[in-house]
């Protein structure tokens, strides 16, 4: 198939369909439904129907083949466990999702000209959802935990707010970077982005989701530091100084309330650290913390889940227990804990696929990130897009330390978008290489 620099023509009636499908794919931070799955499948179908010539850009792509290989392995292992042993596990089939990653990348590459339109609709919709769903009175009272946006769990809602806040921050910076702030729509972008950031922080505070607080403590300073990558240091200093002032004021006003919810967990964690050396190792220290009445109930339950997870993992550390992990779970020390959602994304992988699974996913993730980084270095995407990709990823990796978000709608949609961006960037890089080779060949013919 011959490369062409011209984008493939899209039927006029198809554009609004594509925009809606992408809005549904990234809707999980706002509303927790399965619509992103159907949107992903529909985008793949449309791409193969209308944008088939773009498939050549992934021909002989090792990363695409690696995703297909892992997805085939995970699916085969799940089916064998189900059919031969009758073991269903718990959402174990989700680990075959990499089968779809290259195809979603083709969809994004084919629709890349509509990304600006998608976000121009998405963020105002997110703002409307925040304005309507925010329980201002309860948050200001401070004693009740609220569930932000439209989610089945307040932690999920808080994570959704984190995604929206980071996205709006870099959407604003992208408009600044590309000069859109000087246009008529500039003030509108500033207003929408700042309101989203403010309301998201307000709702995250109201959720009392300590794992999300911790993730923001880790990512927030990096977001402010990322302003130094932009050329106008004076303006970035003003923006950064203003943000720090707002955060300092918020901590001054709500600091006591934050400590009221986070303090007992911090103190219990500090006791575990001390007990490791005095009580003969990590396991004894964790067991003592679980037995202690001073340990908050939510923390005690998580410790029980993690202790059980370690026991299951220890029985099959190399490749994990596959679908059998739930059967092994019944014989663990704290098997009566009322959850099998492990509240730790890394343990979710370890109990099913062991160290092998973690290594494979780490290799895939690093390779994907390198493609996005390479695309930015060649100016194929903006600096703001790279930074948004980086900070959302770091935020997500932080949240799965205390929650199993990779098994939830918000995590699944994150993986779709994370991989789609990487493969789309890889296709742009491949197209650029083909164009440069063609230019070199043409120059050689002219010289001859």
Sign for the pseudo-dihedral over CA of 81, 82, 85, 87: positive
Q: Which structural domain range is residue 99 located in?
A: 14-272+336-442
Q: Do the domain assignments include residue 330?
A: no
Phi/psi at 90 (5° precision)? -145, 100
Q: How far is residue 127's CA from residue 133's CA, in Å, rounded to a whole number?
A: 10
Output the pLDDT for position 248: 73
**Average of pLDDT values for 400-423?**
92
Task: Indicate whether 265 pLDDT > 80.
Answer: no
Residue burial 228-259, b: 16+ Cβ < 10 Å; e: rest = eebeeeeebeebbeebeeeeeeeeeebeebbe
Taking all residues of the chain, what is their mean pLDDT, rounded to a whole number?
A: 87
The runs of H, that is alpha helices, within 378-408 are: 383-399
Output the pLDDT for position 182: 82
Output the pLDDT for position 85: 86
Output the pLDDT for position 233: 66
Q: Do the domain assignments include residue 40?
A: yes
Task: Indicate whether 446 pLDDT > 80.
Answer: no
Q: Do the domain assignments include residue 92?
A: yes
Name which of 109-113, 204-208, 264-268, 304-308 the model is least confident about: 264-268
Q: How many CA atoms lie within 13 A of 300 on its CB side?
A: 15
The string of pLDDT tens digits covering residues 196-255 is 998 999 999 889 888 898 899 889 989 988 888 876 667 667 766 766 776 776 666 666
Task: Indicate whether 371 pLDDT > 60.
Answer: yes
Output the pLDDT for position 191: 92
- Percentage of residues in the chain having pLDDT higher than 70: 88
Q: How many CA atoms lie within 13 A of 163 on its CB side?
A: 28
Output the pLDDT for position 295: 85
Residue 297: which residues within 8 A CB-CB, separation 6 or more? Answer: none
**Average of pLDDT values for 422-428?**
95
Name which of 233-237, 292-296, 338-342 the model is least confident about: 233-237
Task: Indicate whether 268 pLDDT > 60.
Answer: yes
- Tally of domains in the chain: 1
The string of pLDDT tens digits covering residues 25-36 is 999 999 999 999
The string of pLDDT tens digits covering residues 61-80 is 999 999 999 999 999 999 99
Question: From the CB of residue 208, how many other CB atoms can be counted at a distance below 10 Å?
Answer: 22
Please report which confidence band the pLDDT of residue 436 belongs to, taking 50, 70 and 90 as the band edges.
low
Output the pLDDT for position 4: 41
Question: What pTM does this model have?
Answer: 0.91
**Residue found under tokens 């009322």:** 338
The string of pLDDT tens digits covering residues 393-410 is 999 999 999 888 888 899
Judged by DSSP in three states, 89 sits in: coil
Beta bridge partners of 150: 31
Q: How far is residue 391's CA from residue 424's CA, in Å, rounded to a whole number?
A: 19
Q: Do the domain assignments include residue 309?
A: no
Q: Do the domain assignments include residue 124?
A: yes
Please report which confidence band the pLDDT of residue 3 belongs to, taking 50, 70 and 90 as the band edges.
very low
Q: Do the domain assignments include residue 279?
A: no
Q: Do the domain assignments include residue 120?
A: yes
Please report which confidence band the pLDDT of residue 269 belongs to, taking 50, 70 and 90 as the band edges.
confident
The residue ranking higher by pLDDT, 61 or 294, is 61
Q: How far is residue 217's CA from residue 211's CA, in Å, rounded to a whole number?
A: 10
**Average of pLDDT values for 175-189?**
86
**Average of pLDDT values for 88-107?**
92
The string of pLDDT tens digits covering residues 276-285 is 777 677 888 8
**Average of pLDDT values for 309-318?**
95
The runs of H, that is alpha helices, within 279-382 are: 282-291, 297-315, 325-329, 345-377
Q: Do the domain assignments include residue 20?
A: yes
The string of pLDDT tens digits covering residues 102-116 is 999 999 999 999 999
Output the pLDDT for position 197: 92
Please report which confidence band the pLDDT of residue 82 belongs to, taking 50, 70 and 90 as the band edges.
very high
Please report which confidence band the pLDDT of residue 5 belongs to, taking 50, 70 and 90 as the band edges.
very low
């Amino acid at each position: 198939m011959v490369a062409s620099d011209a984008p493939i023509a899209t039927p006029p009636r198809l554009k609004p369909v594509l925009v809606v499908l992408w809005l549904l794919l990234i809707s999980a931070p706002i509303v927790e439904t399965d619509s992103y799955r159907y949107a992903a499948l529909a985008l793949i179908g449309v791409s193969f129907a209308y944008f088939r010539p773009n498939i050549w850009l992934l021909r002989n792509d090792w990363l695409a083949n690696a995703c297909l290989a892992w997805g085939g392995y995970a699916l085969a292992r799940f089916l064998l466990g189900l059919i031969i042993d009758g073991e269903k596990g718990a959402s174990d089939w989700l680990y075959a999702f990499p089968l779809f990653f290259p195809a979603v990348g083709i969809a994004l590459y084919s629709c890349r000209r509509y990304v600006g339109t998608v976000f121009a609709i998405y963020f105002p919709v997110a703002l409307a959802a925040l304005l309507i769903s925010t329980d201002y009175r309860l948050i200001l009272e401070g004693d009740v935990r609220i569930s932000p946006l439209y989610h089945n769990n307040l932690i999920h809602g808080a994570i959704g707010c984190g995604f929206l806040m980071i996205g709006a921050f870099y959407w604003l910076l992208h408009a600044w970077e590309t000069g859109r702030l000087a246009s008529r729509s500039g003030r509108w972008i500033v207003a929408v982005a700042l309101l989203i950031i403010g309301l998201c922080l307000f709702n995250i505070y109201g959720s009392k989701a300590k794992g999300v607080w911790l993730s923001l403590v880790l990512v927030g300073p990096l977001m402010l530091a990322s302003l130094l990558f932009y050329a106008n240091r004076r303006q970035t200093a003003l923006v950064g100084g203003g943000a720090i002032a707002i955060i300092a004021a918020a901590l001054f006003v709500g600091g006591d309330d934050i400590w009221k919810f986070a303090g007992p967990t911090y103190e219990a964690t500090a006791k575990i650290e001390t007990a490791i050396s005095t009580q003969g190792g990590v396991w004894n220290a964790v067991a003592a913390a679980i037995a202690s009445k001073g340990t908050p109930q939510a923390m005690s339950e998580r410790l029980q889940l993690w202790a059980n997870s370690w026991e299951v993992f220890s029985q099959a550390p190399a490749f994990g227990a596959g679908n059998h992990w739930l059967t092994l779970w019944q014989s663990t020390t704290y098997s009566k804990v009322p959850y099998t959602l492990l509240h730790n994304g890394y343990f979710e992988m370890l109990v099913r696929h062991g160290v092998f699974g973690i290594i494979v996913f780490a290799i895939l993730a690093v390779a994907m990130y390198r493609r996005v980084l390479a695309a930015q270095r060649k100016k194929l995407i903006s600096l703001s897009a790279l930074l948004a990709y980086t900070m959302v990823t770091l935020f997500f990796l932080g949240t799965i330390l205390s929650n199993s978000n990779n098994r939830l709608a918000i995590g699944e949609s994150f993986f779709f978008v994370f991989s789609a961006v990487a493969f789309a960037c890889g296709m742009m890089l491949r197209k650029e290489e083909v164009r440069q080779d063609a230019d070199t060949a043409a120059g050689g013919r002219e010289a001859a």
